[in-house]
Amino acid sequence: MKESWDTRIQRAEQLATRSEAARELLTFYGTLLRAQKEGYEYLRGQKGWLPSGTLEEDLPVVRATVPALLQAVAASGPPALAEEARALSRAGGGEIDGALLEQWRAPSDTRFFEKALLQPYARWLAESGAQPFDRELERREGRCPFCAGKPQVSFLQTSEPGAESGGRGLVCSACLTVWPFRRVVCASCGEERPAKLGYFQSPEYEHIRVEACDTCQHYIKGVDLTRLGLAVPLVDEVAAAALDVWAHEHGYTKIELNLVGL
């Protein structure tokens, strides 16, 4: 699977024109992705600088990506987020630095701005060959092999010859790294008894399903690229918001909320 900021942006725009129900959500997500791409390109374009992997040390550069993202959200985010963006713009740099460091060391999927601001940094960190040093999260199965972040979305693709995962992969919620994962196993607790794992679909989205676990009561959405090859897991996951409503109604908690809070 080849994902980039551009494929994500294009997919958000495409889905926004197609889905009446998710139009507002996807238009906003598209704007957010463009701001993230801008931040990523700023970091990547720094002459003579590569991220050290210690966020505290890298903050002076990362901080420069904050205003543009806040402006984008203030201009086109949902009212509550837009208000928060304006408040953060008025706050001192110290406050934002502290919030970013906290998110880096103890991630939360409800801290929207911190998560959105750190994704481009973490992506460039992964691509530039550095290692995250001041992020000592628990390393275990179901966590990103690069940064130990939780998976945002699961996907299936035609398995490459010699692949062991049966074509399943997970996308990291923090650094967007993609890694292969065993097919019939809960991405949260590792449960592998088929009777404990449930898959739920709605006719509305034939290529997306809820992958739920009755042992830990967590779920993740899975995007089936063998059914729809042009889907972009991170974005199609956001578009299928109705499935999250269904999962919550049935008592499941998402492993990691996405950037639009679903």
> For binding to Zn ion (CB under 5 A), which residues are involved?
144, 146-147, 149, 172, 174-175, 177, 186, 188-189, 191, 213, 215-216
**Minimum distance from residue 104 beta carbon to Zn ion (Å):** 12
Q: How far is the CB of 191 from Zn ion (least distance, A)?
A: 4
Which two structure tokens, joined as six digits, stand for 245? 């409503």
Q: How far is the CB of 88 from Zn ion (least distance, A)?
A: 24
Q: Pull the structure tokens for residue 188.
A: 């949260």
Task: State how far the Cα of 5 lies from the Cα of 120, in Å rounded to an integer.
Answer: 9
Phi, psi of 197 (to 5 degrees): -110, 125
From the CB of residue 158, how many other CB atoms can be counted at a distance below 10 Å? 9
Closest to Zn ion by CB, 70 vs 187, is 187
State how far the Cα of 72 lies from the Cα of 37, in Å rounded to an integer.
Answer: 12
**Beta carbon of residue 200, minimum distance to Zn ion (angstroms, whole number):** 15
Q: Which is nearer to Zn ion, 172 or 231 (CB)?
A: 172
Query: Toward Zn ion, which CB reaches closer, 31 or 177?
Result: 177
Nearer to Zn ion, 146 or 205 (CB): 146
| 147/240 with CB nearer Zn ion | 147
Provide the minimum distance between the beta carbon of 212 and Zn ion in the complex, in angstroms, as a whole number: 8
Tell me the C-alpha distance between 45 and 43, whole Å.
Answer: 5
Dist CA 178 CA 213 (whole Å): 22
